[in-house]
Amino acid sequence: MASIIVRGKRLYLRHWDKAIEKNIDKALGLKNDREGMRKAKEIKKLFEANLLDKYHSINTIIKNRITIEEAAKLFSEVKKHSSGTKTVIDLAIKHLIAATEKKYITDLNRMDFRKFSIYLSSIYSRALRNLFGWLAAEKMVKENLVILEKGESKPIKIIPDVDFTEIKTYLWNHNKNGYYFVRMLELTGLRKSSAIVLTWEQVDFEQKNLCVKNVKKNRDFIFPLTDEIISLLKEIGIKETGKIFPYKSDNLAFWYRAQRELKIEPVYGLHQIRKTFISKMVDDGIQLSDVAKLADHRSVQTTQNYYVKTNVERLRLLLNKNSFSSLETSLEVEDKEAQILQLSK
């Protein structure tokens, strides 16, 4: 444990050093006023959560330069989160940093979160909302900038072919591994967490299937190897063992970097590749039970609830188009009949 002490008009951090078995006082360079005491308390919390290594980051903490990772770790320490909750928070902030390229909590603004919410899943949004709500309560940030849209069911947003082709072309020219990874997601609709952990041992070329691990639900399912997937694997370079893609869950920033370079707005999330894949299957008339199996949805109802609306909208537009064409054809026939009648007279 540590404590804040006052000497004259200056604040110090006092803690027990086990190595020399005595208290050590570290000057914080802060005045004994309201603002100085607030920052000193922040440093004390970070120190007690083992976030300070021999005080190397005290100066940055004093200047309110607390990184998002440090804030998240402190939040989990104080709240005693389970490993599952910590994982969700860690993934949320890694996506946030990848998308905004901002590392410190005080650099973020409302627009960062507003843009990010377009492709951030609801579970990550709630995690960030809770984190920044706590930071605001602890006076580490001025306010909670994460706003959740309550009561609204967001429609499935797919990636238009024009934008997707542009992104893939950029990756092909600048990041082949990134291209291969995105292409696999496009051909399979796998969750990125499942694609990241894919190994060559999971590929059965004889039976022509992939044994995919659903990391989210901790279960396995079989996905058929199509000719396009086999061609892709051959292009990558087939091996006997090891991971297929050289990625971890925290280094997929290439996807967002490509879109920034191409100035694509709005920014698409990697998960939208999966949504695009499933939507196209539904639109192509594949039976919902088969779509659910390929998407590894536990229930057909999940597919029905989230993806059939898009298909119904497409059918409505198709019917309207056909009705218009039929009307046009009918008018043309009537006009010709009138002309024939006129000539016969």
Residue carrying structure tokens 């995105």: 182
pLDDT digit string, tens, across residues 227-272? 999 999 999 999 999 999 999 875 688 999 999 999 998 889 999 9
Q: Bridge-partner residues for 219, per DSSP?
A: 214
- Of 2-6, 144-148, 176-180, 200-204, least confident by mean pLDDT is 144-148
Residue 159: name the closest of 273, 79, 67 by CA.
273
Q: Which CA distances in Å does 122 have to 42, 84, 113, 141, 153?
A: 29, 16, 13, 22, 11
- Annotate 283-300 with b (16+ C-beta within 10 A) or e (fewer): eeeeebeebbbbbbbeeb
Residue 178: name the closest of 100, 297, 93, 261 by CA.
261
The answer to whether 228 and 272 are in contact (CB under 8 A) is no
Q: What percent of the chain lies above the pLDDT cut of 70?
A: 78
pLDDT digit string, tens, across residues 322-345? 654 444 444 454 555 555 455 544
Residue type at position 287: Q
- Of 67-71, 211-215, 315-319, least confident by mean pLDDT is 315-319
Would you state the pLDDT for residue 326? 45
Task: Give residue limits of the domains in the chain.
Answer: 2-62, 68-137, 161-300
Has this prediction a pTM greater than 0.75?
no
Query: Pairing relation of β-strands 203-204 and 219-224?
Result: unpaired
Residue 60 has pLDDT above 60, yes or no: no
Would you state the pLDDT for residue 35? 83
Query: In angstroms, rounded to a whole number, what is the distance separating the alpha carbons of residues 76 and 247?
Result: 26
Give the CATH number of domain 161-300: 1.10.443.10
Would you state the pLDDT for residue 328? 46
Q: Which residues, in sequence order, are CB contacts of 188 under 8 Å at separation 6+?
A: 195, 210, 212, 223, 229, 277
Query: In angstroms, rounded to a whole number, what is the distance separating the alpha carbons of residues 9 and 58?
Result: 19
Residue 62: name the closest of 31, 33, 26, 28 by CA.
28
Query: Residue 122 has which token pair?
Result: 């609801």
Containing 73, the helix (H) or strand (E) segment is helix 68-79
Residue carrying structure tokens 């299957």: 281
The answer to whether 31 and 62 are in contact (CB under 8 A) is no
Q: 53 falls in which pLDDT band (50, 70, 90)?
A: very low
Query: In angstroms, rounded to a whole number, what is the distance separating the alpha carbons of residues 66 and 43?
Result: 10
Q: Which residues, in sequence order, are CB contacts of 230 under 8 Å at separation 6+?
A: 205, 208
User: For the chain, how long is the longest CA-to-CA vector?
Assistant: 120
Query: Residue 165 has which token pair?
Result: 């082709």
Sign of the four-CA dihedral 89, 92, 97, 100: negative
